[in-house]
Amino acid sequence: MAEPESRPEPQPEPDWQRKRRLAAIFGDAVPEQTGDDTDRGEPGDARTGESASDAWLRAQVPPHHG
């Protein structure tokens, strides 16, 4: 009777490699870091320090709410 062929034990996949493989298959649905948890913030008017979202909101206010 033939002796069974011995196969090496599979090595555990490193975390970075698993994340890369899953991102290639499913896409990166949830990024590791988002824009709101960095110091960069949103682009806006550097002179006034107003963010782009604040400027948009201010532009949407009707004239009679001045």
Predicted confidence (pLDDT) at residue 42 exceeds the cutoff of 60? no
- Full-prediction pTM beyond 0.95? no
- The whole-angstrom separation of Cα 14 and Cα 9 is 15
Contact status, residue 45 vs residue 55, Cβ threshold 8 Å: yes
Q: What is the pLDDT of residues 6-39, one digit of tens each?
A: 888 888 889 999 988 888 888 866 667 766 666 6
- What does each C-alpha distance from 60 to 5, 46, 51, 55, 64 come to in angstroms? 73, 20, 15, 9, 12
Please tell me the predicted confidence (pLDDT) of residue 15: 92
Mean pLDDT over 32-57 rounds to: 70
Please tell me the predicted confidence (pLDDT) of residue 2: 66
- What does each C-alpha distance from 53 to 24, 43, 49, 56, 63 come to in angstroms? 32, 9, 12, 5, 19
Q: Which residues pair with 47 in a beta bridge?
A: none
